[in-house]
Structure 1
């Protein structure tokens, strides 16, 4: 392990070929495999006709991204952490940051929906291993909200100025919880930064309801939201 003592930056580099910096990823990856995440990606995510082979082996690329996020990365360049030291001995099929970047940039709206479909199926399968919604036979609360995450760079796809007056990515999210468990993300959607808070909320809530039912929740479902979401469409859903 090397450490930089430059006045401009200090960092640790796990570059010894026998050193495993993120061994804790092993049980998480094994759980994902047991719940069928790679096979779900192969079945449902198809980036046909993309340039430079960006759509090849989507299962390996999604698993690489999941592993990188579990390791604490927050940018494409940071996914290089998967290629340090002895990581290649513990995990196979990891992709380089440039490959992962090309993969993500090839996504269209339809491809995102394919990935979300796989994610919902995975969450339902995960419930069988982790009991994500104990108490779901009594009541499940679904909370929906939106947020604008500020980003930098004019080329960032989907980023616009919205009600926060900053350039950002505007996402909508639904979490499920019961009195016995911490919240679990069950539905999400990314919109343009200029979208209204409640745009598309009715269909997202419908997806969330179907998901928690598929997860085994048989009790009452209570949807909670702030006043921005009070509309006939949302109430009807």
Structure 2
């Protein structure tokens, strides 16, 4: 006979009918209502069969659940705790929301992208997300990917990418200024083994179009690391009216450009914080920098060359 038992799982529910556990949820969802989240989802989403009915209400419920801390379908039960039923006109069961999401195809994901882009534009009308009137300087758009670790071999799309961790790969476009917090302009969830640059060209174009809705008129600088050094992403950024800062890969053209820099062109700079070099067992507090004209993608047709300057 076993006297002491350890439960395999435990759940906690908030059952006070006159209170809600997430005090900040009401103003968040009121802001979502003012920005037209439900109406946008009803207009743009076309999920078939009864699973796609009332798309606006279901999208609003999913947003509310995530704002309240839900990170799985089962966690959406948080919307049925306490006084939530008095706060929301429709409290869907987690299984209903799960069936709704499982009916999505990639086309519906693109429809949801359209909802998110327009919703962000409406939010910007309620409050300046990036900067107030009269502010100067660049709006920075950073493109990068991240690995979302998952567990279990049955997780659809999971795989081992460049990090060696089993997960999914998310590609993000984030806008920021020197004075404001970052704002996610666009995102794409990909297989875990996806190449970093996969889909980046389309994401760059989408993010710059969204930025035009959120904050138009300021100069834009797109920043990429070497994983996105390619003609397609760079040309997409330039076509969208942005300037580009990209880390170039070391290739013969780059080596020739570096070799052509004269010794007198190098300038010494001081680091704000010294860096310890384990190879030489010394602290490094200075470096030398230089810049030189550089034509990227010179192996392509002449009208596809991109002229700029290379900083080393």
**Which residue in 2 is equivalent to 1:30?**
30
What is the distance in 2 between the residues matched to 1:47 and 1:11? Answer: 32
TM-score (structure 1 length as normaliser): 0.90
Q: CA deviation at 1:58?
A: 1.1
Q: Is the 8 A contact 1:76 1:97 kept in 2?
A: yes
**Which residue in 2 is equivalent to 1:163?**
162
What is the distance in 1 between the residues matched to 2:11 and 2:39? Answer: 37
**Which residue in 1 is equivalent to 2:242?**
none
**Per the alignment, in what secondary structure is the counterpart of residue 181 of structure 1?**
coil
**Which residue in 2 is equivalent to 1:179?**
178
Q: Any unmatched runs of 5+ in structure 1? A: 1-5
TM-score (structure 2 length as normaliser): 0.69
What is the distance in 1 between the residues matched to 2:118 and 2:16? Answer: 38
**Which residue in 2 is equivalent to 1:131?**
128
Q: Is the 8 A contact 1:68 1:82 kept in 2?
A: yes
**Which residue in 2 is equivalent to 1:236?**
235
**Which residue in 2 is equivalent to 1:106?**
103
Q: Which moved more, 1:73-82 or 1:120-129?
A: 73-82
Q: Is the 8 A contact 1:147 1:172 kept in 2?
A: yes
What is the distance in 2 between the residues matched to 1:12 and 1:235? Answer: 50
Q: Is the 8 A contact 1:137 1:217 kept in 2?
A: no
Aligned residues: 229
What is the distance in 1 between the residues matched to 2:105 and 2:183? Answer: 26
Q: Is the 8 A contact 1:140 1:217 kept in 2?
A: no
State the Cα deviation string for residues 115-158 of structure 1 (Å, max 9, x = none): 01000000001001011011676421001111121112333232
**Per the alignment, in what secondary structure is the counterpart of residue 182 of structure 2?**
strand
Q: Is the 8 A contact 1:133 1:217 kept in 2?
A: no
**Which residue in 2 is equivalent to 1:223?**
222
Larger fraction in helix: 1
**Which residue in 2 is equivalent to 1:199?**
198
What is the distance in 2 between the residues matched to 1:163 and 1:122? Answer: 33
**Which residue in 2 is equivalent to 1:47?**
47
**Which residue in 2 is equivalent to 1:3?**
none
Q: CA deviation at 1:226?
A: 1.4
Q: CA deviation at 1:56?
A: 1.2
Q: Where do residues 71-82 of structure 1 align in structure 2 (5 Å cutoff)?
A: 71-82=68-79
Matched, 1:86 2:83: yes
What is the distance in 1 between the residues matched to 2:92 and 2:81? Answer: 12
**Which residue in 2 is equivalent to 1:145?**
144
Distance change in 2, residues 1:190/1:151 (3 Å): same
What is the distance in 2 between the residues matched to 1:125 and 1:224? Answer: 26
What is the distance in 2 between the residues matched to 1:229 and 1:39? Answer: 36
What is the distance in 2 between the residues matched to 1:176 and 1:97? Answer: 33
Q: Any unmatched runs of 5+ in structure 2? A: 237-312
What is the distance in 2 between the residues matched to 1:112 and 1:10? Answer: 33
What is the distance in 1 between the residues matched to 2:147 and 2:51? Answer: 28
Q: CA deviation at 1:59?
A: 0.9
**Per the alignment, in what secondary structure is the counterpart of residue 54 of structure 1?**
helix
The structure with higher relative contact order (CA 8 Å, sep 6+) is 1
**Per the alignment, in what secondary structure is the counterpart of residue 125 of structure 1?**
helix
